[in-house]
Amino acid sequence: MQLAKKHFVVGMTGGIAAYKVCELVRRLQDEGASLQVVMTDGAQQFITAMTMQALSGRSVETDQWKSLTGNAMPHIELTRNADAVIVAPATADFLAKLAHGLADDLLAALALARDRVRTPLIVAPAMNVEMWGNPATQRNVAQLRDDGIVILGPASGAQACGETGVGRMLEAHELLEDIVAFFQPKTLAGKKVLLTAGPTFEPIDPVRGITNLSSGKTGFAVARAARDAGARVTMIAGPSALGTPRNVERVDVTTGKQMMDAVLSHLPADVFIAVAAVADWHVSNQSARKIKKTATSTPPALQFALNPDILATVAALPSAPYCVGFAAESDDVIDNARRKLGTKKVPLMVANRAQDAFGADRSELSLIDQEGVMTLPNDDKLAQARRLIAEISARLR
């Protein structure tokens, strides 16, 4: 549970995107958060208070003058134990209220009266493309950013009005990812992280090739964890169907040579993490046509050549980043990883047992450096990635 023990005030204003907040509330609770929903009159034109009460598990506040709080001061009381106020959807009208300090309803008043140090304000705008692009709205948004208000989105896409463009509220899963990221320690703020993820695929002919069982889950989790820690992240990804973590630059490649070229073209970086399971060899005599099988044919004689060693190459550069390698081994995991630490000449190697880790959602990792071995107990891959990023951050400091 990534938001365990967090308490949020979830404010809803009047927009068709209010239906997405129903899912957002459930997702926040699934991550361990408790919620107090506050709805404006406009919000209740789209979603009823009873619906939000059923979803949140507590009475919904809708009126400054008919509050359920004991002291009849909901604009003060509701935020004093909140870890954040989240407003979704946030209409153009509500953004204008925030920018100019208006407090003519309960939600606007509590946003104004919150403790700005202890209780951040996070808003998810939702409006028509022309409303979002209007200079007045953009002035208000610029002012809100200057005031320290966190703005998530909006996205571009089809809108309920039938038009297309920027102004669409982020989806519930996107908002959840950004909210979780907001609360992660920003130990890599200002740093650039370059990493590789997934398998590579070395062609034999136009339809066959040599690859491995890596799913990319660990690399993608590390990319997200680094992004959540405040880094600018570029991920060079081998063939993988996984979705790109938000706000991570993804470069898709196929072969080990392509991965090497992409890595070198995206340097310099402060940190390089070689998570990808890169094929050690490629087929040097690959066929331009599909190799056909006949009743009398013999298996093709494949010739192999070494692929470039991406990690060792980057580590040997004159201005090398802090380099972290991954060793996916089938046996003698720690001993093999120690050897790689020396031959690659890197400060940190991360080892796991390949047959347990490839394709799995959980893993056990061992961190090997010159001081010894640290084992991260079996856990989900995002949790492991966050621990790894914390270790890298500590070593950078």
- Which residues have a catalytic role annotated? 161
381-396 helix and 217-228 helix, angle to the nearest 10 degrees: 50
Q: Are strands 192-197 and 271-274 parallel, antiparallel or unpaired?
A: parallel
Q: Which of 128, 160, 167, 149 is nearest to 11 (CA)?
A: 149
Tell me the one-letter amino acid at 314: V
Q: Check: CB of residue 374 under 8 Å from CB of residue 384.
A: no
Query: ∠ CA 176-178-183 to the nearest 5 degrees?
Result: 100
How does 103-129 read in b/e, with b if 16+ C-beta sit within 10 Å?
bebbbbbbbebbeeeebbbbbbbbbbb
Query: ∠ CA 258-261-263 to the nearest 5 degrees?
Result: 110
Alpha helices by DSSP H, listed for the chain, are 18-30, 49-56, 74-77, 92-100, 106-113, 129-133, 135-146, 172-182, 217-228, 256-265, 310-315, 333-344, 354-357, 381-396
Q: Check: CB of residue 134 under 8 Å from CB of residue 125.
A: no
Q: Check: CB of residue 230 under 8 Å from CB of residue 189.
A: yes
135-146 helix and 92-100 helix, angle to the nearest 10 degrees: 50
